[in-house]
């Protein structure tokens, strides 16, 4: 059967891809729904909340302005897993990907991690249906800084980010959520790096609600968080009584083998901070104007603990995917 062409629709400055008419009925029956709101997008599966993507900038009394992140992220039983504007580190926000060092030549032009001199301007958003068990949100945005403006005083785009977030239907007491982050320099001599101290934190991160008695698990078994980064293999799982749900559940980060620096080192915390797949570390790496850096991560939200799930198998399956 021949399908009609895709249709592009602009809503409040956001570009949304509408599937062909023959596919619209399929999309309407899809268990996963992505709906546009004033602040961004809400993703659900049936009656269950999955996450909210924050497109518009938001702040706390005019401070710690941020956008382009996930909050809330929900567990399989409806509990809120993430935090936004936590008291100890108000610049932390849900699931986010940001770095401390953004350089243009010899000038530091922002600290996106700390939400200083940084903005994220989403110019395009497309809702896609890869298959009957997943839906995706593809985002195009520019990183800008008030420290770099044109002759009219308008911030100059420094980095082009293209991020695709794919949400899979929950199966076997777990849900997979994929993040593909592409970073392309728009100016000459752009560099990106983590914190300038020995920790070197920066990159894909999640600020989750933590409780006592959490279990951290990596490829070789239990992992104990330390002040500095540590090796734990390509995946890390954190399980416990999240968000006072009264039952054991968890969330894991898997790093795809295609990521530069694979497997990443980890910054892990039992309280008062976020969990980070630390890349590239304290030494900045160059951003190309022709070939983007591509970072791929998978979150697995699950019931039970790490001993109930074969994460090595799940990691192997993830690595086998493009």
- 198 by Cβ neighbours in 10 Å (0-12 / 13-18 / 19+) ranks as exposed
**Residue 245 confidence (pLDDT):** 61
pLDDT (tens digit per residue) in 277-307:
999 999 999 999 999 999 999 999 999 999 9
**Cis amide linkage into residue 72, ω under 30° from 0:** yes
8-state DSSP, 118: -
* DSSP letter for each residue of 143-171: EE-TTSB-TTSPBPP-EEEEEEEEEEPPB
> How far apart (Å, rounded) are the C-alpha atoms in residues 24 and 256?
32
**Residue 241 confidence (pLDDT):** 87
Considering the four listed CATH numbers 2.60.120, 1.20.120, 2.70.98, 2.130.10, the one that applies to the domain covering 7-320 is: 2.70.98
**Residue 266 confidence (pLDDT):** 98
| Sheet order of strands, 107-110 included | 107-110, 101-104, 190-193, 285-287
**Residue 20 confidence (pLDDT):** 39
pLDDT (tens digit per residue) in 214-244:
999 999 999 999 999 999 999 999 999 876 6
Supply 148's token pair: 């770099």
pTM over 0.85: yes
**Residue 14 confidence (pLDDT):** 46
> How far apart (Å, rounded) are the C-alpha atoms in residues 62 and 286?
32
Residues in the chain predicted with pLDDT less than 50, given as ranges, are 1-14, 16-27
């Amino acid at each position: 059967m021949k399908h009609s062409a895709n249709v592009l629709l602009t809503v409040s400055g956001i570009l949304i891809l509408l599937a062909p008419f023959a596919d619209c009925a399929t999309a309407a029956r899809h268990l996963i729904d992505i709906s546009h709101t004033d602040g961004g997008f809400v993703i659900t599966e049936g009656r269950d909340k999955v996450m909210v993507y924050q497109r518009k900038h938001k702040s706390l009394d005019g401070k710690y302005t941020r956008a382009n992140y996930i909050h809330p992220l929900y567990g399989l039983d409806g509990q809120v897993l993430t935090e936004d504007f936590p008291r100890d580190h108000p610049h932390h926000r849900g699931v986010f990907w940001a770095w401390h060092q953004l350089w243009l030549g010899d000038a530091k032009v922002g600290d996106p991690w700390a939400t200083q001199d940084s903005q994220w301007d989403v110019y395009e958003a497309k809702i896609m249906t890869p298959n009957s068990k997943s839906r995706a949100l593809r985002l195009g945005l520019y990183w800008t800084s008030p420290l770099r403006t044109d002759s009219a005083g308008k911030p100059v785009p420094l980095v082009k980010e293209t991020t695709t977030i794919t949400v899979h239907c929950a199966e076997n007491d777990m849900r997979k959520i994929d993040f593909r982050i592409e970073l392309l320099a728009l100016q000459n001599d752009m560099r990106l790096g983590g914190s300038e101290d020995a920790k070197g934190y920066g990159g894909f991160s999640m600020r989750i609600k933590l409780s006592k008695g959490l279990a951290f698990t990596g490829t070789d078994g239990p992992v104990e968080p330390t002040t500095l980064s540590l090796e734990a293999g390509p995946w890390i799982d954190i399980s416990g009584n999240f968000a006072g749900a009264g039952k054991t559940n968890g969330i894991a980060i898997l790093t795809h083998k295609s990521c530069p620096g694979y497997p990443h080192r980890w910054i892990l915390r039992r309280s008062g901070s976020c969990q980070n797949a630390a890349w590239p570390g304290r030494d900045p790496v160059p951003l190309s104007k022709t070939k983007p850096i591509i970072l791929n991560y998978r979150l697995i939200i699950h019931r039970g603990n790490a001993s109930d799930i074969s994460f090595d198998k799940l990691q192997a399956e993830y690595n086998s995917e493009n």
